[in-house]
Amino acid sequence: MSIRRQTGMTMIELVMAIVILGVGIAGVMSAFTTVVKSSADPLIRKQMLAIAEGMMEEISLQPFAAAAPAQANASGPCPAREAFNDILDYNGLQTTVGFCDTTGTLIPALSSYNVAVAVNQAGILNTVSGNGNLAGGNVYQITVTVTHGAESLALVGWRTNYAAGLPPDEP
């Protein structure tokens, strides 16, 4: 009768394999943690975009030119916007303590988001039909920048005084 030798791993080989696999997995997890830390949080990016879109809509819905003289920009860390009566009133608007409603009241859930607005006179935009353009004071570029910590998001839009500067329709 012959003695059969069993094949397999010894205890030392098994412990060594576990140690080697553990070190490899720890290295991969360390790299994964570094990548996840430096990536943008999707919830924060979505909130920044929602704030920028809301502010852009608020500005775009204002008249192109004020019927009365322009209001002086409110100052302070959370300026009120309820007296703004045209697009240019928003130029230079900036919050430093968080996002505020139109009355200047801080919204506590959005206190880590700040907003800056720039309204610049643009050059010339051609009309879709190509038979005219809007130039100079008839075109404004609106830039809304939202920041959260080191992250920022800029949303750019255009507002035109579309009735001005176009050639009259010929019968």
Q: What percent of the chain shows pLDDT beyond 90?
A: 36
* Percentage of residues in the chain having pLDDT higher than 70: 75
- 121: β partners: 140
pLDDT tens profile 62-100: 888 655 555 566 667 888 888 888 888 888 899 999 999
What is the residue extent of each domain of the chain? 10-39, 41-160
Distances (CA, A) of 115 to 50, 84, 119, 144: 12, 16, 13, 7
- What DSSP character marks residue 62? S
**Beta pairing, strands 124-126 & 133-135:** antiparallel
pLDDT score at 169: 54
Structure tokens at 117: 């607005």
Most confident of 51-60, 81-90, 151-160: 51-60
pTM: 0.67
pLDDT in tens, 116-145: 999 887 656 665 555 556 665 678 889 999
Name the one residue in this structure whose structure tokens are 């703004």.
84
Contact 146, 40 (CB under 8 A): no
Query: CA–CA separation, 90 vs 84, rounded Å?
Result: 7
Q: Kind and range of the H or E element at 145?
A: strand 139-148
pLDDT at 26: 93
Which residues 6+ apart lie within 8 Å of 56 measured at CB?
142, 144, 155, 157
Which residues is 20 bridged to in the sheet? none
Q: Average the pLDDT over each of 11-25, 31-45, 96-110, 141-155 and give the range with the smallest value.
A: 31-45
